[in-house]
Amino acid sequence: MDWRRSDDSAERFSAYLQEIAGVMGHAARVAPMRAYCSGLLLDCERKSAEPIAAATAPGGTSAQHQSLLHFLAKGEWSDAKVLGKVRDLVLPQVERHGAIEAWIVDDTSFPKCGAHSVGVSHQYCGQLGQQANCQVAVSLSVANHAASLPVAYRLYLPESWASDEARRKKVGVPEEIAFQTKPKIALQQIEWACAAGLPRGVVLMDCAYGSDLSLRRRLTALDLVYAVGVWARTLVRRGDDEPVTAAELAKSLPKRAWRTIGWRDGTNARLVSRFARVPVRAAGEGTTEEEPEEWLIIEWPKGEKEPTKFWLSTLAEDISFERMIDIVMMRWRIERDYQELKQEVGLGHFEGRSWRGFHHHATMCIAAYGFLVAERGAFPPSAPRSRYLVEKPALPHGYRPRGSPAPA
């Protein structure tokens, strides 16, 4: 069945789920998959197993709850196969609006209480903007100017977890999962995407990834172009000059080096800032005299006392400055991904502790989100798209999710 040919979004969604059912591996997994994906698109306050069970089976909530818990925590279905099917279904819809232009790497965090959920640790939490108890997942999205779609997603397992056999066993961390830094996980995802033959785009990453010299070198070896954030303290060499930090080089540039460039329409006005670009070579620890030349791109908004952002890029020598900034700034799309994955489909609402459950929940969220990506533009921008897809059943009278406070 071609799920795109129906005139009704609910029918298209049902047909979309039928396609995903084909890779679940067992007929008994289809009903809970349908229920869980449907629940993720309902207008529920929480998108975890119990409220989804109550919303999708108000006459049999307890049995539905157990079915969904088993589907997530015990179901031996493949995250990779489901994400592959989502990619096969959704990417053609994305590419109708233009070729893939970017591969965007980032991570997202989930604040957590306690120490028992897989991978939870006291680490930097982007959602809170500070060190906190949280889980962190690394992802790769493919994007053009119309849309983006996560194609790979994996939990970062801190070294304290990776080396603790008792904790690993308790939450079911696979034996083959060893400690890897976030840039290493990102590189693994990028190498997989290359091997899978995904349509290529410019690799975009923030400073936490882009400042890794070995990662940049590997991207070049894979014939990938990149435009990645680096720290202000990153050492670079301009021509035969002595190495200086990116910030020092920015401050030495003449006034004529700076251009005011706009790149997209924001909520209230066009986004505009001041930029400079300079051909440089990487310098400092681990570099050699033979480093290839690349662009150092600098943002220094008017009114700021210091430059605010820096990128290194292997974009073509003859690319226009406007096009360069347009590509660099496409990284905002992954922020949109995470915002909608969390707000629309409950990516951060998983309440289990296991490795399998964490990834199964994320895969179902990406599947549900993938349908929204394919449907983009079919719904009023002022309302959540999920509201129009599935009619929410009435909850049992007096129902409250376990652990929620009693009404006053």
pLDDT digit string, tens, across residues 177-192: 999 999 999 999 999 9
Mean pLDDT of 55-59: 93
Model confidence at 337, in pLDDT bands (50, 70, 90)? confident
Backbone angles phi, psi at 107, to 5 degrees: -130, 160
Q: Report the pLDDT value the prediction gives residue 53, as an integer from 0 to 100.
A: 96
- CA geometry: angle at 129 spanning 126 and 131, to 5°? 90
Q: Is the pLDDT of residue 64 over 60?
A: yes
Q: Quick check: 83 and 152 in contact, CB under 8 A?
A: yes
Q: What is the pLDDT of residue 8?
A: 81
Mean pLDDT of 20-45: 95
Q: Give the model's pLDDT for residue 136.
A: 97
What's the whole-model pTM score? 0.90
392: confidence class by pLDDT, cuts 50, 70, 90: very low
pLDDT given for residue 388 in this prediction: 41
Of all residues in the chain, the percent with pLDDT exceeding 70 is: 90
| Mean pLDDT over each residue of the chain, to the nearest integer | 90
In terms of Cα–Cα distance, which of 46, 40, 4 is closest to 349?
Answer: 46
Average pLDDT over residues 60-82: 96
* Backbone angles phi and psi of 17, in degrees to 5: -65, -35
pLDDT: is 392 or 286 the higher one? Answer: 286
- Structure confidence by residue, pLDDT tens digits, 133-155: 999 999 999 999 989 999 999 99
The first and second tokens of residue 110, run together, are 């989930």
Tell me the C-alpha distance between 182 and 312, whole Å.
Answer: 19
Contacts of 185 by beta carbon, 8 Å cutoff, 6+ apart: 138, 154, 156
Q: Confidence band (pLDDT; 50, 70, 90) for 167?
A: very high
Residue 248 has pLDDT above 90, yes or no: yes
User: What is the structure's pLDDT at 7?
Assistant: 56
Give the closest residue to 344 by CA, choosing from 16, 41, 14, 5. 41
**Which residue shows structure tokens 């809970």?**
32
377 has pLDDT over 60: no
pLDDT at 347 over 80: yes
What is the predicted pLDDT for the residue at 380? 37
Domain boundaries, the chain: 1-96+352-399
Per-residue DSSP letters for 239-266? TTSPPEEHHHHHHHS-GGG-EEEEEEE-
